[in-house]
A = this chain, B = another copy of it.
Amino acid sequence: MAIGWIAQETGAEVIAVAVDVGQGGEDLDTIRKRALACGAVEAVVADARDEFAEQYCLPALQANALYMERYPVVSALSRPLIVKHLVSAAKEHGAGTVAHGCTGKGNDQVRFEVGIGALAPDLKVIAPVRDYAWTREKAIAWAEERNLPIDVSKKSPYSIDQNVWGRAVETGFLEDIWNAPTEDVYSYTRNPAEPRDPDELVLTFDRGVPVAIDGETVTVLQAIQELNRRAGAQGVGRLDLVEDRLVGIKSREVYEAPGAIALITAHQELENVTLERDLARFKRQVEQRWTELVYDGLWFSPLKDTLDTFVLDTQKHVSGDVRLVLHGGRAVVTGRRSEQSLYDFNLATYDEGDSFDQSLAKGFVQLWGLPSKIAAERDLRGN
């Protein structure tokens, strides 16, 4: 839509870039043709779904990335991938400027511009919607005047972003945060309240990577897609929260992420079995920071890079099977087994076979509590 306007305003030749991150909708060829019809001198379209799954969704899964403990950073993951393709196209075609269509009050402008700044510090960025107050209405009017082949169906009252990791819905009547979402908001998930039979599956991980479903080998992309289908059919992964945007405001967001939520649920429990306690406790802090950085547009940043090495190192034992029941909007782990398990039946059992030496406990308890006890004696003394 902005292609013609940019061409006209800047006098530059415009190259359109579109990336398939599993958002569905039009096929890449249609997109390509329309871009050219709108005045682009070239249209670069890329099927990046496997790349997206393996290099963006997988690290998020391994970090159990849930912003505000809820939102699996759906849009925040696709932006750096799009930036990578945008920068790559710019370099290939010798472009000095790139444009994006974000507004000035969302997170995506940050993710695009900070990403571009990190990958290609010399590229100039323009943001017509933000910097020239180029609204949806103006855009449509401008395009209709020129008979450009845009899709002006104004039906959706929502602002929607979707990819294989999930789907984000905002604006419209949801801006009143007392309003409950209605069924028409959802597209990746069926209504969890409808009666249907549960779906049980076994998910296999190898070093933090989902590699099989019910024994059938899958790629990361296939794992996400298959779980989107099966968990989505059970209404798993609907989220509704008031969220802290980087630009300083709170917004109300509704998400659907059936595959992401099912995978993270299984992955967390497999970590419970295979990660040592202190490591697991510290990893939670790393997960929170990783997720904040990614949400806040700092995918390409030194701290995010180094946290990646931390997370990756923790995954070396996260291998095994998780049995998952999907039903009524819930993804529930009902069993786990792993050759890398740190759960030791003989240490845990209260039945025969108990190998835990209880005589060690008294000394442990006494010294564990000693600092509190000394402080308590001091406090009692003071009274």
| Other-chain contact of A181, B104, B175, B334 (Cβ < 8 Å) | B334
Q: Write out the residue numbers on chain B whose beta carbons fall within 8 Å of the beta carbon of A246.
A: 368
A330 touches B364 (CB 8 A): no
| Other-chain contact of A345, B127, B175, B325, B344 (Cβ < 8 Å) | B175
In the complex, whether A177 has a CB less than 8 A from a CB of chain B is yes
B368 touches A114 (CB 8 A): yes
For chain A residues 225-250, which have a beta carbon within 8 Å of chain B? 238, 240-244, 246-250
A335 touches B117 (CB 8 A): no
A302 touches B117 (CB 8 A): no
Binding-face segment, A44-52, A208-216, A293-301: A293-301
A342 touches B306 (CB 8 A): no
**Given that A117-B373, A249-B344, A349-B171 are contacting pairs, would A335 and B179 also be in contact in the complex, using a CB cutoff of 8 Å?**
yes
Interface residues on A, range: 35 or more
| Other-chain contact of A249, B281, B292, B351, B374 (Cβ < 8 Å) | B374
| Other-chain contact of A371, B238, B276, B282, B345 (Cβ < 8 Å) | B276
**A150, chain B: closest CB distance, angstroms:** 19
Binding-face segment, A2-10, A139-147, A160-168, A283-291: A283-291
A369 touches B118 (CB 8 A): yes
Q: Write out the residue numbers on chain B whose beta carbons fall within 8 Å of the beta carbon of A369.
A: 110, 113-114, 117-118, 248, 297-298
A251 CA / B301 CA spacing, docked (Å): 20
In the complex, whether A370 has a CB less than 8 A from a CB of chain B is yes
A342 touches B297 (CB 8 A): no
In the complex, whether A37 has a CB less than 8 A from a CB of chain B is no
Q: Write out the residue numbers on chain B whose beta carbons fall within 8 Å of the beta carbon of A343.
A: 177, 242, 250-252
| Other-chain contact of A247, B130, B244, B317, B367 (Cβ < 8 Å) | B367
Q: Write out the residue numbers on chain B whose beta carbons fall within 8 Å of the beta carbon of A303.
A: 276, 278-279, 282
**A112, chain B: closest CB distance, angstroms:** 9
B302 touches A69 (CB 8 A): no
A198 CA / B376 CA spacing, docked (Å): 39
Q: What mask results when residues 178 to 214 of chain A are scored 1 for a CB within 8 Å of chain B, else 0?
A: 1111000000000011010010000000000000000
B300 touches A350 (CB 8 A): no
Q: Write out the residue numbers on chain B whose beta carbons fall within 8 Å of the beta carbon of A298.
A: 278, 369, 372
**A337, chain B: closest CB distance, angstroms:** 5
| Contacts A178-B336, A249-B356 supplied; 14 other A-B pairs, CB < 8 Å | A104-B361, A114-B368, A175-B351, A177-B336, A244-B277, A246-B368, A251-B343, A282-B289, A297-B365, A297-B369, A306-B314, A309-B309, A344-B374, A357-B366
24 interchain pairs (CB within 8 A)? A68-B272, A104-B359, A110-B365, A114-B369, A114-B373, A117-B366, A117-B369, A171-B349, A177-B337, A177-B341, A177-B343, A180-B323, A193-B328, A242-B336, A243-B272, A244-B277, A250-B343, A251-B348, A252-B343, A252-B348, A282-B303, A282-B307, A310-B310, A364-B366
Binding site for B on A (CB under 8 A): 68-69, 103-105, 109-110, 113-114, 117-119, 121, 127, 130-131, 133, 159, 171, 175-181, 192-193, 195, 198, 238, 240-244, 246-252, 268-269, 272-273, 275-282, 284-285, 288-289, 292-293, 296-298, 300-303, 305-307, 309-310, 313-314, 317, 323, 325, 327-330, 332-337, 339-345, 347-351, 354, 356-378, 380, 382
